[in-house]
A and B are shown apart, each in its own frame.
Chain A
Amino acid sequence: MRISTFWYCFKQGIINICRNIWFSLASTAIISACIFLFCVFFSVITNVQHMVVTAESTMGITVFFDETLSGAEIQEIGETIHHEKNTVIKDMKFISAEAAWEEFRSEYFGENTDLAAGFAEDNPLAGSSSYEIYLHNIADQGPMVNYLQSVAGVRKVNYSNSAVAGLSSFNKILTLLCGVILAMLLAVAVFLISNTINVAAEFRKNENKIMRLIGATNFMIRAPFVVEGTLLGLIGASIPLGAMFFLYNSAVEFVMERFQLLSGIIQFLPIEEVYPMMLLVSLALGGGLGFVVSFMTIRRHLRV
């Protein structure tokens, strides 16, 4: 396509938008609402996923064994667990009673080693040999804990609280909800864009007929409408993207202030990590929606 032809089509697309300014504004507004909701859900889902991944990599299950068992027996049980559940286990670490005491001592007494000297010959954590188990997916935590509690020789199973474990299912529900709302909004957007293009096509009915008789191709007749639809989509996407850029940090601060108790669990991603993908997907969604709907809508106006 020649540059002059491209600019001609682009200019005609802009003229179409200006001619039906109210329809164009309505379409842009509904696309903006659609993309804004998408951005909100995208931010929440991305952050929840981040929290889930963090939880999966930092929160393990600790398994304690009967005090009567020897180290070799404990390790044998550990190997059995690893063998039976190797598909869900990401990492598994044996912590002997001595290692547990060493860690506790350095954490609790710090540099005051003389305070711990009284326990030198008497490990208070004797019989506390354990396994720390990390899973690939935190959603498997519940079944895994049930399994571990049923293993002979296991005395106690410690695991992270259910709020964190529930993040995974929360994420699934949120994704589903997001999908349903987006689908409804997209349907409204499709209807409005299609209506806008239909009105523009009616305005250009005479012009399209002349174009056809002069020998213009379908591409040339269609191009101004496709430009119009794509521009409406891109403008509709740009507005919520601009808003999100400024609102994201404020929203994060607001949540952190209101839910200080959860600050240990909730760790938001910085906008620099969320925004690039959100920008790309939103522009593709807005522009793509406008392109496809206008392309399909104008088809029936081509045979004049």
Chain B
Amino acid sequence: MIEINKLTKTYDKSSRALKGVDISIEDGEFVFITGRSGSGKSTLLRILLKEVEPTSGRVVVNDMDLGAMPRRYVPRYRRTLGVVFQDFRLLKDRTVYENIAFAQRVIGVPGRTIKEAVPRMLKLVGLSSKYKAFPHQLSGGEQQRVAIARALINQPAVLLADEPTGNLDPQNAMEIMKLLEEINRRGTTVIVVTHSRELVNMMKKRVITMDKGIVISDVREGGYRYEN
């Protein structure tokens, strides 16, 4: 469960990215966070990732109070999250298999476990036949699938996706959304930050809309409120 209370983030005196945001997300929910550029969506995501510290307010993720968390516990906390980016952020010099295994190697997972887990994830994202390919040999949609597999391999409780379909054509974007929905169906909480009106309207999931650092609407099975 994610509990956000009176969250404020001020970068400098003139710009306040978040102004007392209150959000509660239950385990296993699928949530879209939408809003114009500069509405505070990305800042919210970065606070959840503990990349930036809030100015005030409280954030509790799976019973862990981020404000009270010592720095040495941050890596362990981040292992409970999966992150997917708009630009995929794959390692160009490594194969699909190595990109996915990377997420386990760097946290010291035994080799035997990696050998079992990676094929399973490849199967989930439908890339079993392309495990030897390098990122540049894949389409945008396939690259994003690799990124999702990498985010999921450590079985995170929450998957954070920042504009996951931003670089994809509508068909690939739809397939990625279906994949995220499938992942959500298996029990992972999915939070997607997006600008895509079509996808938000089509998915009929909870939609939190932000503007100028505040939550202006929070609707179950909602739709997109703003013009892009």
Contacts and interface: CB of A to CB of B under 8 A. Distances in A.
Contact of A211 (B51, B81, B106): B106
B105 A5 contact: yes
B75 interface: yes
Interface residues of A, number: 19
A213 B78 contact: yes
B111 interface: yes
A2 B76 contact: no
Interface in B71-98: 75-79, 81, 83, 89, 91
B76 A215 contact: yes
Given A206-B89, A210-B89, A210-B91, A215 B75 contact: yes
Contacts of A213: 49, 51, 78, 83
A5 B108 contact: yes
Contacts of B102: 210, 214
Interface residues of B, number: 21
B78 A215 contact: yes
Interface in A80-132: none
A220 interface: yes
B110 A4 contact: yes
B139 to A, nearest CB: 21
A207 interface: yes
Looking at B91, B105, B154, the one whose CB has the most chain A CB atoms below 10 A away is B105
Contacts of B83: 213-214
Given A210-B91, A215-B154, A216-B75, A1 B108 contact: yes
Given A206-B89, A207-B91, A214 B107 contact: yes
Contacts, number: 50
Contacts of B33: none
Nearest to A208: B106
A216 B78 CA distance: 8
A217 B76 CA distance: 8
B103 interface: yes
Contacts of A5: 105, 108
Interface in A190-236: 206-207, 209-218, 220-221
B108 A215 contact: no
Contacts of A212: 75, 78
A173 B77 CA distance: 58
Contacts of B154: 214-215
Nearest to B101: A8
A215 B107 CA distance: 7
Interface in B100-139: 102-103, 105-108, 110-111
- Residue among B102, B108, B150 with most chain A CB within 10 A: B108
Contacts of B81: 215
Given A210-B102, A211-B106, 4 more contacts: A2-B108, A4-B105, A214-B107, A216-B107
Interface of A: 1-2, 4-5, 8, 206-207, 209-218, 220-221
10 contacts: A2-B110, A4-B105, A4-B110, A210-B89, A213-B83, A214-B78, A214-B103, A215-B77, A215-B79, A218-B75
